[in-house]
Every structure is written in C-alpha cells, then in structure tokens.
Amino acid sequence: MFKILNIFNLLFLVSFAQAQVTKGSLLIKNGTILTVTKGNMENADLLVENGKITKMGKGLVAPAGTQTIDATGKFIMPGIIDAHSHIGIDVVNEASRPSTADVWVGDALDPLDLSIYRALAGGVTASHAMHGSANAVGGECETIKHRYGTLNPEEMRMEGAPRTIKFALGENPMRVHGEGNRIVPATRMGVEQIFRKGFEDAKAYMAAWDLYEKEKVKNPAALKPVYNKRHETMAEILKGNIIIHCHSYRSDEILMLLNVCKDYQIKRLVFQHTNEGFKVAPELAAYGAMASVFADWWAYKFEVYYSTAYNAAILTKNGVVTSINSDSEEYIRHLYHEAAKTQRYGSLSDEEALALITINPAKQLGIDQRVGSLEIGKDADIAIFDGHPLSIYAVPQFTIVDGVVRFNRSKDTADQRLRASATRAETGFFLHKEQHNHDRCLEGAFENTATFFGLERE
Amino acid sequence: MIIKDLILSRWIYPLLKNEKVTGFFAFMLIGSCLFAQSGIPELIPVTQTYVLQNVQIVVRPGQIISGGTVIIQDGLIQAAGKDIAIPAHARKIKADSMFVYAGFIAGLSQSGIPRPESAAGATGGRTPGGQGQQRPRVSDPWNPTYEESGITPYVRVRDVFKSDDKSLEEMRKLGFTAAQVYPIGKMLPGQASLVSLGIGKNADELLLKENTALVASFTPASGAFPSTIIGVMSRFRELYKNAIRLQDYQKSYGSNPVNVNRPMADKSLESFFPVLDGKIPFIFQAPDMKSVYRVQALKNELKFGVHYADVKEGYYVGDLLKSEGKPIIISLDLPKAADEKKPVADSSKNAAPKDLEMEALKARTAEELKRLEGQAAKLAALGLPFSFSTVGVKSTDIKETLRRMIKAGLTEDQALAALTTTPAAQLGVSNRFGTVEKGRAANLVVSDKSYFDEKSSVRFVFIDGKIFEYEVKATPKAGANASAGGKAAEAPKVAGKWSYTIKAPGMNTEGILSFSGSGSDLTGEWTSSQVPGTNPISNISVEGNKLSFTSNISMGARQINLDFNLSVDGNSLSGTVGVGTFGTFDVTGAKIDGQ
C-alpha cells in the first residue's frame, strides 16, 4: 500500500509540476544590500536570472533587455517571511472535531485574496497560511509565495516547502469542543490527551501497515488496513516529515507540549504566539524548539495577559530561533515595524531584528536553504525600501518574488483586485474589517452554529 | 402557459377538433376533469398519431428542412422530412410555419426532486431538535454517520423523485423533455439519472436511464465533519481510497473466502464501484473558478472520470476545461446586472460631482458580468461541448438567460446543441434523443418563431409522443384593456399590512409585511419574530397576481438574502421564500388592514 500511496504522491507532484511558476530576470543597481546573514554591501548591484540570485557585487552587467531597477539610495533586503498568517486561503478552521489532522488548508488556496497584494506592499514575499486554532490538532498548513496575479491556486504553493501542521493549546480548543460540544478537551489536561491519543493511534496505524507490507510478500491477497488520513498525518509527524507549529500562550502548556514531543521523539517543533515564551526560553533553546511571536500584542483573552514586548529579544538572547509574525492581514503590511520594536524593547542589532522577519521564519518553515537571506543561488525574493527597513520612515518600493516584480509602488493603482464581483460595485477595501481587531485563529470555528428560522446554515 | 387542463388536452381535445367550445362542451369537460381527478381510469386517446405540416424542422443544430412534415406515431418520430404521405388517422396540429426542435435535455437538474423535510441532510438522518435546541447534535463528533456527513451516494433518483412535482410542468413548457436529475444533498448527494419530464404515475414510468453518474460537490455538512471545503476534500480522498480497498477485498473474498474474514458491506463505498470500474463518471459541481481547480487536483490525484458541472466561471478556465477532453455542464444561473437607479433628471446646476472611484468600480463590475455572460460563447469558440444545468435556476429566467448568452456571442446553433445533441451524447442516448429523425423518441418542441427569438412562444411539446399544448397569452395593448374581455387580471392591491407565517421545519416564523404606494412606486418593509427591527424590502415586482420581492438582512457578520415569490388572491397570499443557502420555505399570509 505504501507503494500505492507513493504512486499517489508522485501523481500529486506531477499535477503540481503542471502549474508553471513564472520566474523573472532583472538587475538591481547601486543599492545598499542587507543580506541579513552575510553583512551589508554598499552601492552594490544584484543580478537575478530565471528567478535565482546569481551575482551580487559592484558593476554587474546584465544581458541586453534585462529589466533594471535603479536602487540608488535605496535598501535591498530579503523578502519578508511571515511564519503565521491566514491569508490566501478560503478556509481557516475545520472545527468539527478536536483533531482534524486529516485536513489541509492547501486544498482551499485563494489566489484572489487581496491581502496577498497588501502583504506584498509591505515587502512580504512568502507566508505560512495556517489552519486555525479551534482544535488541539488542526489541519496541515501551506507555505505560499506571494505570486499575486496568478489565478491558479497551484502556482501559489512554495514548491518543495516541507509539510507543516497546526496544533493549539489552551482556551481555543477547550472553548470550541469542551464548551461547545461537551466533549474532551474541556480542560488543558484534555488538550494534552488529544495529542497523546493521536500519536498512539498513529503508532498502531503504522504497525498495521507495516504488518500488511510484510504479509503481502507471503500472501498477495493480504488484507490492507482501512486508509485513515488523520492517523496517516500523525504518523508522518512521528517520522519527522511534518513540522509542528503550535498555537500557545502559557509557559506551563509550552512545557507540556515539549514533554509530549520528548516522549514521542519529535524534534521539529515551533511555538506560535508564545507570549510566555520568555519564561521558558532556556528550555526551548535546549530542546531546539523555535518560537514565533508578536512584537507587542496581547490581552485579547484571559490567557494572553502575562506578556512583554521584550519577549522576542529575551528569546533571541537565549538562543531560541525566533520570528515575529502577523496572524493578521493588517499587521502583515508592516512586519518591518514590528521587527523594529525589538530595538526599542531589547536593543537587538539591525541584523538580529531583520532576522526575526527573514531568515528565522524561513528556518521555522524549513525553507531557509531557499529564502530568508540574500545569497547567491537563493530564490530572488526581494524587498526594496527607500530607507532602512527598520526606520519608521522607510516605505517599500518594489517587492520581487522569483525575480518577478509583484509590487511596484509607482504603478500601484486604486483597484488591485484580480477579479471583481459581477453584481456589486464594491471597493474591497474593507473586505476584512470585521477581523481587523483580533487574530483570525478562530475564524469559522463557530460558523456552523449560526441559525436562521431555527435551522442551521448549510 | 397551460390553458387547458392536461387531461383535457390529451384525451378530449382531439374530439373537439377545431370547433368552438360551446358551453355544453365546457360543462362536460369540466365534469370529465373532475372524474379524472377523482380516480376514473384514463380514457384511451382517439389517436396517438400526429402530423406537423409545413414546419421548419431543425433536425439538429445547423440542419433545417423548410416546409417539412413530421409524423409522430406511437411515441416515436415516424417520419421527418419532405414529401411524406400523411396517414388518414393522424391528427393535424396547427403548426404551419412553426419551428420544430428535438426536445431539450437538461444536463443537470433537480426537477421533480422535493426538498427534504429536514434541512439537516439529504435523507433525513436527523431532524432538528425541539424548541430551544438550535442545531441537531451530531451523534459522535469523532465518527459522524454517513448521513450526518452528507455522504449519501447510495440515494437513487427513483427513491426520491416525485412524478407529480410542479417543477416538471415548469420545465416542460419551456421545451425541456428530459433531464439528468440527482437527489438533493451535500458532498455526495446521490446517483444521477436521466428522467423524462412527461406524465407518469411514479418515478419508474419516467426513468430513462438509471445511475448515469455519481454526483459530488464541495458542499460541507452542518456541524459534523466535513464542515468545510478542506474537510470535504480530505474525506473524498479517504472514501475513494477505501472504496478501492473494499472492492479489491470483495473480489478476493469472492474468489477464495477460506480463512478470510468477510468484508463488511458498505452502501456508501459500494456506490463508488461503477466509477472505479469506469462505467460512470463523477459529476462534480464546480461553479466557481477555484472549484474547477480543486476538482482538477482531486481528479489528477485519484484518476477518476469527471464531468465538471454547474460551471459559471469557465471564462477563466476554458483551456483547462478543454484540456480535460470531456463535455461539461455549465450553469444557466447568470446573475442579473445590479439595479441601475433611474438617472436623476439632469439639472446641470445642481449635478453632483461624479464619483470617479465608484464609476471605475461599476465599470469593473459590468466587465465581470460580461465575462460570466460570455462564458458559453468562449467555451463554444474553444470547441468544448457543454450542456446546461438548471440547478438553482428559476425556470422563468431560462429563456432570457439563453438570449443573454447569445447576445454575448453564442450562436443559436451552439445554444441548441447545448440543449439537445450535447446532453444526449454526454448521457449516451444520442440514438434515442437529441435530433428530429425517424425512429427517435417523439420528444419535440414546437415554437411559433425561432425558439431564441424574443417574441417566440412554445406552442406544443411532445414527450414520448404525448402532446402538451400551450396557447399564447394575448398581450393586452396599452389603452385597449377595456375591450380585452374583462378577464385581464387586475393588479392585486398589495398596499397595506399583511400578516404572514413562514413554515420551516420545527419552527414557524411570523411577522408583518407592510407595503405602501402602488405600481412602480411600491415600497415596503417587514418585521419578524426571528429578526429584530424593521427590514427594508427591495426589487418589488407585481405581475398579474404574482408578487415578488427580496430583502437582505444581516445575521451577525453574515448577509442573508430572502427571495419572496408570492401569489396574491384578494386578501390572502401564499407562496415561497428562499432563504440564502438554508432552503426554500412555504409562506402564507392575510391582509390585516384593507385598503
């Protein structure tokens, strides 16, 4: 069966490969290059060929006809990466049971989401489109590149990015299931048991398949186990093929999940939000767990009061790979401001602060070999600012994905929608204003409780 | 419009030939109708042979025989062409110079499929709870039943089809004589079948071809997994793979059951077998562009045969659909242009400055609507054959929608192909339906002008050789209604206050409808025991005794569109209201202050 599964996977890859990603070539002249990993280069050029950075240095020449951007007086940095967002997807939460490891937001990508363009306008070239936190084990997430302009959802995927999955601790999964449906988990203890039960089921599932594979050699008519996508996904986590990204606030729960992962020998683990991460930074660093945090956003529910704007700096100084994320289609437009706050609260250096929104989120998503810094051979995902990106006065001018200019401030027009409604003349400007004031982690979680005339919505 | 009772037209009318109906006859006829309705066996018609003389026979799209003759006998087209001898016992139909087409076939439809009593699921696995219980509880959120999950691929049309549903006549009078219908449901609502839209006592009498396809959609379940598109995608893969497993298991057990536990029967998974065997395709509903991509992703992964259905945004994915190499089913649900407010009389002094941003937005909206209208023309130009789906479409909008598609570049022949030859081929019944040829089933539409002409009317429809006759409603000329015979329906008095009751399963909603003004200046609002405050009413239309209007209300962050279609009879009203995606419910009401 695994062979058959592999064939399915192969076919899957083939179907992805059919989506041709547009790649570009261009020459960026005479700017200040902030490589993030290898220092800065003044008055330098950067050459992009077929979507990859091929040269950085002075006096570069490009083949005739190559698009050239004059970056004199401007700052060139790696495209910003958001390790936690919910843009570019039509579904955030499949909230119908405490574990939905069987779903994948990559099945519902939305290339039309205007938030992608707005993120580009903030220099963000890739983001982690995540399942929500309505359940202890949410669904698999999708790392997308902001190739705004394509109508084909397949072209949004960052091809080759590792699989990731959303876990959630605390109030959200308790509220939706314990209080909403009167089932486990109604408490933080219950949340832990959802993980442990999920991994135990996965082990039994793997054992059944292994047995079948052995049986099949002797007996071609051996009976296949029933295919169960939820168990299969949990098994892939145990095998190290999927990175856990866990919604978390309280330090006691963060330690709890560390213990669960230790028990099941799971190494790839990133905590999201992690507001109390500063209390357990040494433990996180020792385990190799990473943290993705807000700069200064808290107190939107009871478990998120004990927070500090020094969180990112404390985690960084303790050796935890830390990123700053948006979890919002508004914050995603100015992650460079969010990163700069760590210089006021924690005195991080320019490179440390920029790493929070570039190479560190890339590491957390397992894509740091491809993006997150300006280096020869890496993807040409680039943001160009008119000032230093950590300056409050800096404004993004160009955002480039795979060598293709996807945002150009001088060509920014009023209506950037890829498609308009056929019936309503609307701007799209306020399309998301209802979610403006809180994170989107619970979006859709209570939707199926809406009723009308005593009936539920389909 | 049926003027004569059906039974009258089928059995008694031939006796009358073309004589004027006298009062005596009328009395007799009414009597016979009453008898028929009270269970007296049907009379055998005097003749089952009809002749249409000097007609334009549209044999198939692009092939017309002018001044031809069609002979219909015993349910079949006996002859169609020129210089044909007319049998002495044939009833001559007054169709001189009219157009004769093959009966239309809806590529996908829900005609004859009643809405389930419970909105909870296709087969009523659950019913809404009592008072106070807002949603049905799922038996076990970890393991919802197939019914709770919206997985009912075992439901057959013959089990749910209602041969006396009024939707059959609504489609028939437009010229539709057959339709591929499927049960109402969610992600896997059931098996489609081709049915005749004629007269039958039960589903079996109308069933033309059973289990033509397994229908699938991205419609999630309520409150149970899968409650989102991503849940549906995942569950679909799981079911498909387990169906393969079960089929293999059953085969191997069938050949050697010794020392093997028996495979458990599974009505849902077993329903996949004809698809796995390549005998029938999936009909996958993919109205929007993103759904088309999602269906394609599933299909590429699992390798099943698929017909994309209810497609509305094919304009954007024409090449993709073309490359799939299978005919598709596009939707006849075409949004209408936003109501343009009447231009304010141009008093150039006070003219408000133009809102340039709004003008630009309106231009984009109009452009988008053009693309939706142009879908059919674009797909036809690509050479991709398609039929039409009437799912979710008001039958009264269909002719207008076809004309809009033609205005957007679809040729009349292409439209006709989508109504006749393409669905026949899609369903594998080209040798029985879809053309006007000798030996084909006598399913015909007779239109007094070209069907696609704005002023055309369908005058006769034949289904299996049985005739349905329609008279043209005389359009009263302006200022001449005094001489129109006094029968012209007077516009009902809508203005005033009406109490109403909306009957939904488990709960009735009551409130007040208030209208003021008259004619095109009619305005209104309504209150309800469910929704606080007063809600405005828009798009009020009064035609004959038909009153229709819409209202948009917000439930939390969600906008719900209510679509009322009522008949006013003096001081009472009745009809239906469509409530967003919740369904359609019966409405009754009475006037509480006469005006």
Report, as an integer, the average pLDDT of A235-258.
Answer: 98
A51 near A91, Cβ under 8 Å?
Answer: no
DSSP code, position B151: B
CA B78 to centroid of chain Cα atoms: 30
Report, as ranges of residue numbers, the positions in chain B whose pLDDT lies below 50. 1-38, 118-134, 342-344, 477-489, 595
The pLDDT assigned to B43 comes to 66
What residues are paired with B579 via a beta bridge? B562, B583
The pLDDT assigned to A279 comes to 98
Nearest CB to B234: which of A103, A151, A458?
A103
A310 near A345, Cβ under 8 Å?
Answer: yes
The pLDDT assigned to A178 comes to 87
Distance from the Cα of A153 to chain B's closest Cα (Å) equals 7
Report, as an integer, the average pLDDT of A6-12.
Answer: 43
Residue whose structure tokens are 């990731």? A164
The pLDDT assigned to A428 comes to 59
3-state SS class at B16:
helix
Query: Residue B469: in which H helix or E strand, if any?
Result: strand B466-469
The string of DSSP codes covering A242-263 is EEEEEEE--HHHHHHHHHHHHH
- Residue B225 CA to residue A94 CA, distance in Å, equals 8
- For residue B553, give the chain A residue with the closest CA: A452
Domains by residue range for chain A, with CATH: 22-78+375-413 (2.30.40.10), 80-371+420-456 (3.20.20.140)
Where do the domains of chain B lie? 105-124+146-337+360-431, 496-593
The pLDDT assigned to B505 comes to 64
- Residue B333 CA to residue B315 CA, distance in Å, equals 14
- Residue B288 CA to residue B461 CA, distance in Å, equals 34
The pLDDT assigned to B586 comes to 81
Give residues with Cβ within 8 angstroms of A197, minimum separation 6.
none
Nearest CB to A422: which of B229, B297, B372?
B372
Residue contact B357–A105, C-beta within 8 A:
no
Nearest CB to B245: which of A111, A112, A227?
A227
Distance from the Cα of A46 to chain B's closest Cα (Å) equals 36
Distance from the Cα of B356 to chain A's closest Cα (Å) equals 11
Q: What is the pLDDT of residues A68-83, one digit of tens each?
A: 999 999 999 999 999 9
The pLDDT assigned to A174 comes to 94
ipTM of the complex: 0.91
- For residue B503, give the chain A residue with the closest CA: A453
Dihedral angle, C-alpha A447, A452, A454, A455, nearest 10 °: -60
- Residue A384 CA to residue B372 CA, distance in Å, equals 39
Nearest CB to B225: which of A96, A420, A434?
A96
A293 near A313, Cβ under 8 Å?
Answer: no
Closest alpha carbon to B89 in B101, B69, B74, B100:
B74
Distances (CA, A) of B338 to A425, B372, B404: 9, 14, 15
Residue contact B557–A11, C-beta within 8 A:
no
Nearest CB to B229: which of A107, A422, A449?
A107
Interface with A, mutate which of B145, B232, B234, B248 (most A CBs under 10 A): B234
Q: What share of chain A is helix, strand, coil (3-state, %, to 5)?
A: 35, 25, 45
Residue contact B360–A415, C-beta within 8 A:
yes
Residue contact A457–B580, C-beta within 8 A:
yes
Would you say the pTM of this structure is higher than 0.80?
Answer: yes
Give residues with Cβ within 8 angstroms of B236, minimum separation 6.
B187, B216, B298
Closest alpha carbon to A164 in A91, A105, A82, A108:
A105
Residue contact A415–B530, C-beta within 8 A:
no
- Residue A235 CA to residue B59 CA, distance in Å, equals 61
Nearest CB to A450: which of B297, B368, B558?
B558
The pLDDT assigned to B9 comes to 40
- Residue B309 CA to residue B287 CA, distance in Å, equals 7
Q: Which residues of B touch A436 (CB under 8 A)?
A: none
Q: Is residue A441 scored above 80 in pLDDT?
A: no
Q: What is the pLDDT of residues B457-512, one digit of tens each?
A: 999 999 999 999 998 876 554 444 433 333 444 566 788 888 888 877 666 778 88
- Residue A402 CA to residue A381 CA, distance in Å, equals 6
DSSP code, position B189: -
- For residue B528, give the chain A residue with the closest CA: A453
CATH ID of B105-124+146-337+360-431, from 2.60.40.1190, 3.20.20.140, 3.20.20.70, 3.10.350.10: 3.20.20.140
Distance from the Cα of A5 to chain B's closest Cα (Å) equals 10
Give residues with Cβ within 8 angstroms of A200, minimum separation 6.
none
Residue contact B362–A425, C-beta within 8 A:
yes
Q: What is the pLDDT of residues A107-159, one digit of tens each?
A: 999 999 999 999 999 999 999 999 999 999 999 999 999 999 999 999 999 99
Pairing between β-strand A142-145 and β-strand B458-463 as defined by DSSP bridges: unpaired
- Residue A31 CA to residue A75 CA, distance in Å, equals 6
Ranking A201-215, A432-446, B254-268 by mean pLDDT, the lowest is: A432-446
Report, as an integer, the average pLDDT of A86-107.
Answer: 96
Q: What is the pLDDT of residues B432-465, one digit of tens each?
A: 999 999 999 999 999 999 999 999 999 999 999 9
- For residue A423, give the chain B residue with the closest CA: B338
Distance from the Cα of B563 to chain A's closest Cα (Å) equals 14
Selected residue with higher pLDDT from A353 and A8 = A353
The pLDDT assigned to B114 comes to 86
> What rounded mean pLDDT belongs to chain A?
91
B446 near B460, Cβ under 8 Å?
Answer: yes
A89 near A129, Cβ under 8 Å?
Answer: yes
Q: Is residue A325 scored above 50 in pLDDT?
A: yes
CATH superfamily of B496-593: Quinohemoprotein amine dehydrogenase alpha subunit, domain 2 (2.40.128.120)
Dihedral angle, C-alpha B357, B358, B361, B362, nearest 10 °: -150
